[in-house]
Amino acid sequence: MTIQTGDSIPSMKIMQASAEGPKEVDTGELFRSGTAVLFGVPGAFTPTCSAKHLPGFVQQAEALKAKGVTTVACMAVNDAFVMQAWARDQHVEDTVVMLADGAAAFTKALGLDMDLTARGLGVRTKRFALIAKDGKVTHLAIEEPGAFEVSSADAILAKL
């Protein structure tokens, strides 16, 4: 079942890519207080994700903070080393928390998984963005396959 507006973000242990290397993070703790934006991408280094999705949130980091966002996080079904390399490649610095959901456990808990095995990619995260306040989802935008409209940084800024 897909997470809905009003639902709490599940508390799970996943990996965060950091300058010091992979570290375990509890999603319940990460999103517990304040206003957070979590966006998911099908994969690091993929075309739309690298050309538009992640860069949009990096570029709009200050505008998101000005609207009260305390945490911006990007999640993909990749390992923490890939997410760290992607963060370096995209000049993320400290603007976006890079979450590695290597086994897709958190993605599945959110109900935002898609099976791209037939295309050689395995289980991946649907392209989405959500806003959470104090751990509860207040807005959820899930893209149709191949689309990039409702989950962009600009679209999320308009919902804050």
Count CB atoms within 10 A of the CB of residue 104. 19
> Along the 160 residues of the chain, how does pLDDT read in single tens digits?
899 999 999 999 999 998 888 999 999 999 999 999 999 999 999 899 999 999 999 999 999 999 999 999 999 999 999 999 999 999 999 999 999 999 999 999 999 999 887 776 778 899 999 999 999 999 999 999 889 999 999 999 999 9
Domain locations in the chain as residue ranges:
13-159
CATH architecture of the domain with residue range 13-159? 3-Layer(aba) Sandwich (3.40)
Q: Which of 41, 14, 5, 44 lies closest to 130 in space, CA to CA?
A: 5
pLDDT value, residue 135: 97
Would you give the end-to-end CA distance of the chain in angstroms? 25
CB crowding 114-137: b at 16 or more within 10 Å, else e: beeeeeeeeebbbbbbbbbeebeb
Catalytic residue numbers read: 49
pTM listed for this prediction: 0.95
Q: What is the pLDDT of residue 74?
A: 98
